[in-house]
Structure 1
Amino acid sequence: MAVDKRGRKLPKGIRQRSEGFEGRFMYQGKSYLVHGKTITETQKLITELKYKLEHGIYVTKEKITLDEWFTTWLEEYKKNRVKLGTYTNYEKYYKSIIKNRLGSRQLSEIRGEHIQKLYNELVKEGYALSSIKIVSAVLNGCLQQAMRNGLIERNPVRLAELPRQMGKKKERIAMTKEQQDLFMEYAKESYLYHFFAVMLQTGMRKGEMQGLKYSDIDKKQNVIHVQRTLKYIEGQGYIEDAPKTRTSTRDIPLTAAVAEHIEVQRKYWNFKVVNMNQYLFCNEEGGPISRERIQAEIDRTVKRIREAGHDFPRITSHVFRHTFATRAIEAGMPPQVLKTILGHSSLAMTMDLYSHVLPDTKAEEMQKIAIMF
């Protein structure tokens, strides 16, 4: 039985090398090797490799392509670890952007310059930096696991550099108080009037609003339980998924104004029987409201405003969330409280909103300080 550098006995099939440990085992008459930094890691790699061999999903290091490995990585390492929405996003970005460019290459052939060329091509084709970052994250996760499994010596994604932000960073848009009042006035005839009002007064994301159910309105605790989001998946329609981040599962205080909008919404479609598991904001049949219908109603309202002679920008549903945050900041809501209500994963995200809103009032604040001198 092998021993380590201190003379301690090692598990069967494991021996210590100059850097880490080596695991060796036989399967159907053929020898296999894995390498780990610790004994525990090496044993885990042996178990994983045996599983792949037994289930016919192992491909030799010399022959495996990115396509083959991506399928294994997605199914074995990601399917039960990430949200369904994240899983489908990985799949979508791989199939639409990565597959045709790198999918047929063997893992051992992919070098840093190939990843860099991919980034450069995407820039030329007009892809947003945010999309290129997602492509990079998918490739990095996939190839990092390949390196851990001993399929490649190093991760080529680490050798490439993401492009710089070209031009101005996209500015967050929030309605002014006047625009907010104007929109809600002209939205009164819309069947989504209460949807807009609740979104504007809670800062909830569009998907969270779509997934809100009667059972989420807790009048005893006087809160709205945000527990899910609706996500559209091609070929499946709308599915319920966990909220965007861990901190997105949250309770939002139920104000009297929001409670009134919800109560009116309960009666809007005149359903004979209302199931507590039914979506609060739904279509005529009680099904999910599509993102297209939401945007169409926003566009119709803006059109009515413009036809009445007012200048008004085109907005999306996300503007309501930024508008809520802006009003909260203007009212003096502490950052930590706003972070909790919005469900941000970090305080830095909330402070970024403050840096966007507060410059508008800096002259006024400077005047307050000036009287002290």
Structure 2
Amino acid sequence: MAVDKRGRKLPRGIRQRYEGFEGRFMYQGKRYLVHGTTVTETQKAMTDLKYKLEHGLFVAKERIILDEWYRTWLEEYKKNRVKLGTYISYEKYYQSIIKNRMGSREITEIRGEHVQKLYNDLVKEGYALSSIKIVSAVLNGCFQQAVRNGLIERNPVRLAELPRQTENKTRQAMTKEQQALFMEYAKESYLYHFFEVMLRTGMRKGEMQGLKYSDIDKKQNVIHVRRTLKYIEHRGYVEDTPKTRTSTRDIPLTAAILEHIEAQRKYWGFKVVKLDQYLFCNENGEPISRERVQAEIDRTIKRIRAAGYDFPRITAHVFRHTFATRAIEAGMQPQVLKTILGHSSLAMTMDLYSHVLPDTKAEEMEKIANVF
């Protein structure tokens, strides 16, 4: 029987090693070792490990680095289950943020504090909370599959806390005056009808880019939103399904919208227009790039400012928020607006209401001023 440095007898299977203790035991013909700073701690570690072995909970450590496991997880478990855009997003965030920070670490060595430090570092470096959440989603999915596969015992991402939202993101929408001003000066642009349709439907930029003549259903009097265009490096623009399941939708086709669609149909003077051709395209019939869309928005704003008006810089997504704002101001019901916008939940639509309604609350209060 082993003794400690003072000559005291130690429990069976435990011996003193340097400043701590080592516990040894055999299970089904295989030797296992545990360590502790005290005899009691070592005994507990032995008991815990025996329990895991008896109940099939023990995971033998394998020297697999995160880079290797991430690639297996992405290609074997995700590639055929997620949208193309999601797959590309995972790759983008892993390669640009995660890889250099912890890609060379063994997955069994990554702990909750390592993930927490990653979050904290990203906050210091000025990353938006939305980006940090995507990083978290990639790591969580990757490690959760490793748990299912028996490569690690627990998911370290579950032990870290995402940073708090420091301030609510301001949703930018054009006022009625700004909207009228922009569309007046946009008449010179070859994307004039693009802007008009986006303002009148609330469609996302990618959905507008992917709109085809075959999606314009005059019989049903609707626009079928069935795809979005995404740019992939080295491949160009490819078609993908809309953002969420509810994003595949039909939007009512009003007379004003149809007028702009028909005008766009004739804009480039193509002799033959095929049903599978993109409605909004360049002079060669090719998809309009996101850069060209933003460039035309910037040129229009430049003309507005040159005329002496003060006008903020906006992006294509502002048109979607502007449509939602006008719809709310006109009294459109939340459930109807949710369907038209293709939101995945009513909460997202109600969030828009929370941003728009405060601007009109004084007017609403005046309506009931004489009731009391």
Shared topology, TM-score over 0.5? yes
SS at match of 1:188: helix
The alignment status of 1:283 with 2:282, answered yes or no, reads yes
Tell me the TM-score normalised to structure 2 length.
0.84
Determine the C-alpha separation between the residues in 2 that align with 1:34 and 1:203: 53
1:280-323: CA deviations, max 9, x gaps? 00011111100000000000000111111111111100000000
TM-superposed CA distance for 1:62, in Å, is: 1.2
Q: What residue ranges of structure 1 are gaps of 5+ in the alignment?
A: 1-17, 24-32, 36-59
Map of 1:82 onto structure 2: 82
Map of 1:320 onto structure 2: 319
Determine the C-alpha separation between the residues in 2 that align with 1:276 and 1:162: 47
Query: Any conservation in 2 of the 1:61–1:151 contact (CA below 8 Å)?
Result: yes
Letter in 2 for 1:369: I
Map of 1:99 onto structure 2: 99
Determine the C-alpha separation between the residues in 1 that align with 2:227 and 2:293: 18
- Percent of residue pairs bearing the same amino acid type: 83
The alignment status of 1:220 with 2:219, answered yes or no, reads yes
Letter in 1 for 2:68: E
SS at match of 1:231: strand
What does 1:197-346 correspond to in 2, within 5 Å?
A: 197-346=196-345
TM-superposed CA distance for 1:370, in Å, is: 2.5
SS at match of 1:95: helix
Letter in 2 for 1:238: Y
Determine the C-alpha separation between the residues in 1 that align with 2:77 and 2:269: 47
TM-superposed CA distance for 1:332, in Å, is: 0.3
What does 1:117-128 correspond to in 2, within 5 Å?
A: 117-128=117-128
1:326-372: CA deviations, max 9, x gaps? 00000000000000000000000000000100011111211222222
Query: Any conservation in 2 of the 1:136–1:157 contact (CA below 8 Å)?
Result: yes
Q: What residue ranges of structure 2 are gaps of 5+ in the alignment?
A: 1-50
Determine the C-alpha separation between the residues in 2 that align with 1:64 and 1:193: 54
TM-superposed CA distance for 1:233, in Å, is: 1.1
SS at match of 1:270: coil
TM-superposed CA distance for 1:22, in Å, is: 7.3
Letter in 1 for 2:269: N
Determine the C-alpha separation between the residues in 1 that align with 2:218 and 2:312: 37
TM-superposed CA distance for 1:169, in Å, is: 2.3
Map of 1:191 onto structure 2: 190
TM-superposed CA distance for 1:251, in Å, is: 0.1
Query: Any conservation in 2 of the 1:247–1:345 contact (CA below 8 Å)?
Result: yes
What does 1:12-23 correspond to in 2, within 5 Å?
A: none
From the CA coordinates, give the structure whose radius of gyration is larger: 2
Map of 1:116 onto structure 2: 116
Map of 1:149 onto structure 2: 149
The alignment status of 1:361 with 2:360, answered yes or no, reads yes
Letter in 1 for 2:164: R
Map of 1:50 onto structure 2: none
Map of 2:71 onto structure 1: 71
Query: Any conservation in 2 of the 1:66–1:104 contact (CA below 8 Å)?
Result: yes
Map of 2:24 onto structure 1: none
Determine the C-alpha separation between the residues in 1 that align with 2:114 and 2:339: 42
Query: Any conservation in 2 of the 1:143–1:155 contact (CA below 8 Å)?
Result: yes
Query: Any conservation in 2 of the 1:34–1:149 contact (CA below 8 Å)?
Result: no
Map of 1:176 onto structure 2: 175
Q: Evaluate the alpha carbon distance shift between residue 231 and residue 187 of structure 1 in structure 2; reply closer, same or farther with a 3 A threshold.
A: same
Query: Any conservation in 1 of the 2:268–2:283 contact (CA below 8 Å)?
Result: yes
Query: Any conservation in 1 of the 2:58–2:153 contact (CA below 8 Å)?
Result: no
